[in-house]
Amino acid sequence: LDVQAKNISSGINAEYGGDSGCQEVAAAASQIPGVEKVLVSESSALKGQISEAVSAVILDVQAKNNYSHILANGTVFGKNILPRIGAKLDVAPISDIIGVQSEDTFVRTIYAGNAIQTIQSIDPVKIVTVRSTAFEAAPSEGGSAATETVEVDVSNDKSEFIEAKISKSDRPELASANIVISGGRGLKNGENFEMLYTLADKMGAAVGASRAAVDAGYVPSDLQVGQTGKMIAPDLYIAVGISGAIQHLAGMKDSKTIVAINKDGEAPIFQVSDYGLVDDLFKAVPEMIEGIEQQ
């Protein structure tokens, strides 16, 4: 978040909390230019980073330091934490910004990305989630921030972390991959996604899916790209058998290059694509795989 934070304030503190491994993350964060201090809270009460516990830490730190802005990534994690912080501080959170005009004025998308809104906040504390794909990443070296341990007595009797089931894959992470190949309802079933997995492995790509494919049970929900899934902006996005519903376009239309494969030449996905192939995906994808293998 440090690139956009620099546009807001010259004094940036980063905060990390969890039950273990926080010092390693803090050491990496301290190397980011522009960060003045890294606050670390490590406690068994923060296991699983559930919102009730994490928000208690943030509120305690806010009470001691009186920050003007509290920012988090516009991920499920950030959107789970900051609304609670906003309610406790009695301020209105601003979600999913894509630009910073000044300390109190931000740019965000509305109507599934079809309109751009500029919003000015008069709240004493600005609570903001950020669409990270809209900003360049900050350098990972060159800084020398101090690290401070934050001791907080976290009292949480409302929720308990049970377990985390994490999908493991040798493919790149969907949210940060340079190349993403996504499939839609046009693949007809989950077994046919094997074609995309094969193509992705040969291209070093991540695999995504439309909401329709997820709702149909073809793939798990962590592959969903769109307004209610992951917001991504890879260098190359290949949409296979995806019609291009508004909520899906909102999650991928910032991609540098978009390639669409669909047998319906009138599909909305072609309106945002840089390259389009009107063809049967069950013919086109195997041909792509064969072409790569012959190189």
pLDDT tens digits, one per residue of 11-26: 788 988 888 888 888 9
Residue 232: closest CA among 271, 289, 175: 175
pLDDT at res. 9:
63
DSSP state of 225: B
Span 219-236, mean pLDDT? 93
Task: Kindly compute the dihedral angle of the four CA atoms of residues 89, 91, 93, 98, in this order, to the nearest 10 degrees.
Answer: -120
Evaluate whether 174 touches 230 at the Cβ level (below 8 Å). Answer: yes
**Range name among 163-177, 216-230, 231-245, 279-293 with the lowest pLDDT average:** 163-177
The C-alpha angle with vertex 76 and arms to 74 and 81, in degrees rounded to 5, equals 80
Question: 0.85 exceeded by the pTM?
Answer: no
